[in-house]
Structures are given as structure tokens and as C-alpha cells.
Amino acid sequence: MRYFISILIFITLIYPSDCISYNTSNGTSYNCDCTEESWESYYSYMAGCWLPNANLESADLKWVNLEGAYLVGADLRYAQLVTANLTNANLVNANMVNANLNWVNLENANLKGTDLRYANLENANLVMANLEGANLVNAKMKNSNLLN
């Protein structure tokens, strides 16, 4: 049993986390310390956080700065993201059903395949945002800026 635990510890130390590996192979600089387990200690300045597949359902993230954050596959259903900064954020395949994104800044964000059904995107800035394959059924988009 000791042998097994020793090997497990050794393997854990040798292999870096997904975030570190991703940063190394893609030339990015995501904040690997800001994760699903620790994001609350970074609130409201969460720029560059590493949050793939994070469960942030119903989270109160008003006024948060998630600029350049990695939120691929994140669950943001019913989240309150009023006036949030998501500039350059990667939200590919994120679930944002019924999210409140009123006055959000999504400039140059990647929303490819994101589910935005019933989301409130009123007054949102979506300039240069990638909306390819995004589901906007019944989304409220009054006064949203969609210029490219």
C-alpha cells in the first residue's frame, strides 16, 4: 500500500495540471490558481481564470471581471452576470440558459455552440463575438450591439 501511495504522489508531481499543460502547448497564460475550487477567493477580479466545465449554476457574479477567462463547457445556467466583463473570454459550449447578462461586455468572446436560450442579453456588447452555432432561441437582446 505504501508503494502505491508513493507512486501516486510521484506521478502527481511529475504530470502538470491541465491548465499548465494547456498554457505550455498553446502559448497562453491562464491563471491556473483560479479554478472551480478557488474562484470565490478571486471574486470580483477573475481575469484569466481557468474554469473549464465549472459548475457556476445560479452564481451571483455581478460586476465580475472574467476578461480572457477559460469557461469552455461551464454551467452558468441562471447565473447573474449583470455588467460583467467577459471580453476575450472562451465560452465554447457553455450552458447559459436563463442567465442574466444585462449590460455584459462580451466583446471578442468565443461563444461558439453556447446555449443562450432565454438569456437576458439586453444592452449587451457583442462586438466581434463569435456566435457560430450559439442557440439564441427566446433570448432577450433589446439594444444589444452586434456590430462586427
Q: What does the alpha-carbon distance between residue 143 and residue 130 come to, in Å, rounded to a whole number?
A: 18
Q: What does the alpha-carbon distance between residue 65 and residue 44 come to, in Å, rounded to a whole number?
A: 6
> Has residue 40 got a pLDDT over 80?
yes
8-12, 34-38, 62-66, 106-110: range with lowest mean pLDDT: 8-12
Q: What does the alpha-carbon distance between residue 65 and residue 86 come to, in Å, rounded to a whole number?
A: 7
Q: What does the alpha-carbon distance between residue 102 and residue 28 come to, in Å, rounded to a whole number?
A: 29
Q: What pLDDT, in 10s, does the model give residues 65-110?
A: 999 999 999 999 999 999 999 999 999 999 999 999 999 999 999 9
Q: What pLDDT, in 10s, does the model give residues 81-91?
A: 999 999 999 99
Q: What percent of the chain lies above the pLDDT cut of 90?
A: 87
